[in-house]
Amino acid sequence: MSMGTYDLKKRTITTTIFSNCNEMKANKPQDRYLDINGLRLHYLDWGNYEHQPMMLLHGFLSHAHAWDDFALSFTSCYHVIALDQRGHGESEWSKHAYYTLDDNFVDIVHFVEALNLRKLILVGHSMGGRNALFYSACTSHNIERLILVDARPGNNPLASKALRHLLENLPLQADSIDEVVEAAQAIYPYLSHEICHRMASHGFKQMPDGKFVPRDDVRMRQQAEQSGYIIDDLWSFLKNIPCPTLVVRGKESPFVSRWDAEEMCRLIPKAEWREIPQATHMPVQENPSVFKRIISLFLNH
């Protein structure tokens, strides 16, 4: 990948919005769909269209509903939107398993354009944070504030080991949602049972034989394994992010070290970083009250 603005002329994108025109229910998002080049993407829209938009991007093998609790706390001040990125949640799987950083970038560019989102607050966790980082570096004119949550810009052995551990221990098939919850809490011990159960319920679906399987495309897991759990290196893009940026890491995260967070802030011109105590790789859900307080402080100063 080269520095600068990404060349969109290489791809032909057609965009159509599908939506349910019913009134937004109180404290509940509306399911909406966006078609980009024939790939139907699902997103949650929390309404309040007159407010500044806040777009939320989930992590690898997660989904838009992972942000439900967080979004609910910010809907009175922002127009909150949470996207199911390609191959995740209720969004369609790519026919040819196109799940690269560039593929996600094109999706985000045209998603933002289709909804005419301006002065955007962009929040991304893990994979979603990497996608947010890349988008902000290449199309910086449209981002007012950027929040990167436990999103690593490059590779290190501990992070690769943590990703391998995650993929080896999240079930591809389960007899019940409780079985999924048990496996997830073994990986993330700070997750409450309530939040973990809600996330598992949205992340898995029941098949005709009664078994529960992930909603995400299993080929993404296979690609991660085939790559040796190596990701695209984005360190060189950090200096291209001009907007105020908050780097957040879980204090016990194996994915993003304290050195990573400090180095990210050194390279991003207007950046600061915070640690969330009692949290590993999922600080949004592991310590929601502290996470929301830190985000509020960043957005209000």
Which one, of 67, 92, 65, 35, lies nearest residue 217 by Cα? 92
Domain assignment present for residue 269? The answer is yes
Structure-token pair, residue 126? 């893990």
Domain assignment present for residue 38? The answer is yes
Which CATH number do you get for residue 82? 3.40.50.1820
pLDDT at position 143 is 96
Domain assignment present for residue 174? The answer is no
Domain assignment present for residue 43? The answer is yes
Is beta strand 271-276 parallel, antiparallel or unpaired with respect to 245-250?
A: parallel
Find the farthest-apart pair of alpha carbons in the chain and give their distance in angstroms, rounded: 54
pLDDT at position 14 is 38
> 70 has which bridge partners?
none
Domain assignment present for residue 185? The answer is no
pLDDT at position 10 is 39
pLDDT at position 27 is 75
Range of the domain at 271: 8-155+235-299
**Domain count of the fold of the chain:** 1
Q: Quote the CA–CA distance of 142 and 216 in Å, as a whole number.
A: 29
pLDDT at position 38 is 80
pLDDT at position 301 is 82
pLDDT at position 240 is 97
pLDDT at position 22 is 34
Residue 5 and residue 15 in contact, taking contact as beta carbons nearer than 8 Å? no
Domain assignment present for residue 118? The answer is yes
> Measuring CA to CA, how many Å separate 162 from each of 27, 280, 281?
35, 11, 10
Domain assignment present for residue 294? The answer is yes
Instruction: Give the Cβ contact number of residue 227 at 10 Å.
Output: 12
Domain assignment present for residue 84? The answer is yes
DSSP state of 176: S
What's the average pLDDT block by block, 10 residues per block, for the chain (301 residues)? 36 37 59 92 96 98 98 96 98 97 97 96 98 94 96 96 96 97 96 97 98 98 96 97 97 97 97 98 98 97 82
pLDDT at position 2 is 31
